[in-house]
Amino acid sequence: MSESETQGALTEAVFYILLALHTPLHGYGIMQLVREMSDGRVDLGAGTLYGAINTLLARHWIVPHQADEGSRRKDYVVTDEGRHAVQIEMERLEELLTNGKQIMEGRGDEKNCL
Amino acid sequence: MRKIVYKLYWDYEKEEAWLNRMVETGWALVHYSVGRYVFDACPSGAYIYRIELLDQAAKHRKSKDYLTLLEESGIEHIASYANWIYLRKRADQGPFELYSDLDSRIAHYRKIKKMWLALTLAEGTVAFVNIGIGLLILGHNAMTWFSLTLIAASCVLAVFFVIYLRRIGKKIGILEEERLVRE
């Protein structure tokens, strides 16, 4: 995997699509699951989702999944590379959260000190 | 009841806004072909319309997956023209946006800018050819007015194209600035 694929933040859409594809799912299923996971906050636009799916396919972070014969819908599933990207992103998010909590929640004390 | 309106738009966002105003007055687009809009009567505000530029025409096999996705998410494909598609969703099903983040909105604008740039270059070439012909036939009175009219028309058109290109460029710039601080 090249460095460019492991560095930097994932977009919210990409992060949630990769999570949604831990089990094989088609486009509309991804939309519904992401909406559900985020309590309705993340409502992926069809254009945004379709663009992201194509980008992720090109990177091999997801692959088409053999659907039932005759089904006109395409299913996709996350690959090991995709999982790896999510793992790295989670570590990054954890770092942000830890630092954020430390400083933001410690802020009141700092003010008293000053 | 049916109503036909003839109209031409440069700017797909203005066109989209007009279609949505038509819905407010109880008219829903059901067919479109160059400059010709066919509306059927509908309850006021029943639909939300969106216009989108695809990489390929709607008929192309590469557009099929996307059209299936639209259909499943309750979006109706009303009409197509070149690589443009006209879509609508019932307003009672909630908001309807095709692009939910800045990156994808910027990408869509870039696609549109690229298409207009190609059209502008083609149009500019036509304007130059017209000027060239005009110079060649200078003095042949019978043709001069005809040639001048062609030159003026193609130059005016080229100016409109360039103005529209700059407007899209500005929109991309605003979104890119926003993209520096958030997604």
Q: Name the closest residue on chain A to residue B106, using Cα atoms.
A: A48
- B115 burial class (0-12, 13-18, 19+ CB within 10 angstroms)? middle
Q: Would you state the torsion angle of the CA atoms of residues B9, B10, B15, B16, taken in this order, to the nearest 10 degrees?
A: 150
Average pLDDT value for residue range B29-44: 96
Is the pLDDT assigned to residue A74 strictly greater than 60? yes
Q: Give pLDDT, residue A68.
A: 64
**H-helix segments, A1-114:** 12-20, 27-37, 46-58, 80-105, 107-113
Q: What percent of chain A has pLDDT above 70?
A: 82
Average pLDDT value for residue range B97-119: 96
Look at A76 and A2; give whichever has higher pLDDT: A76
Rounded-to-integer distance, Cα B159 and Cα B154, Å: 9
Is the pLDDT assigned to residue B143 strictly greater than 60? yes
Residues of A with a Cβ under 8 Å from any B Cβ are 11-13, 26-28, 31, 42-52, 72-74
Q: Which chain B residues are within 8 Å of A43, Cβ to Cβ?
A: 95, 97, 100
Residue A51: which of B75, B97, B107 has the nearest Cβ?
Answer: B107
Q: Give pLDDT, residue B148.
A: 84
Residues of B with a Cβ under 8 Å from any A Cβ are 52, 65-66, 68-70, 72-73, 75, 95, 97-101, 103-104, 107-108, 183
Nearest partner of B49 among B81, B83, B82, B14, judged by Cα: B14
Q: Give pLDDT, residue B103.
A: 96
Please state the φ and ψ torsions of residue B27, each to the nearest 5 degrees: -130, 125
Instruction: Output the pTM of the full model.
Output: 0.89
Q: Please give the distance of CA B12 from its chain centroid, rounded to a whole number.
A: 4
Q: Quick: pLDDT tens for B47-88.
A: 999 999 999 999 999 899 999 999 999 999 999 999 999 999
Is the pLDDT assigned to residue A1 strictly greater than 80? no
Inter-chain residue contact B66 with A46, CB threshold 8 Å: yes
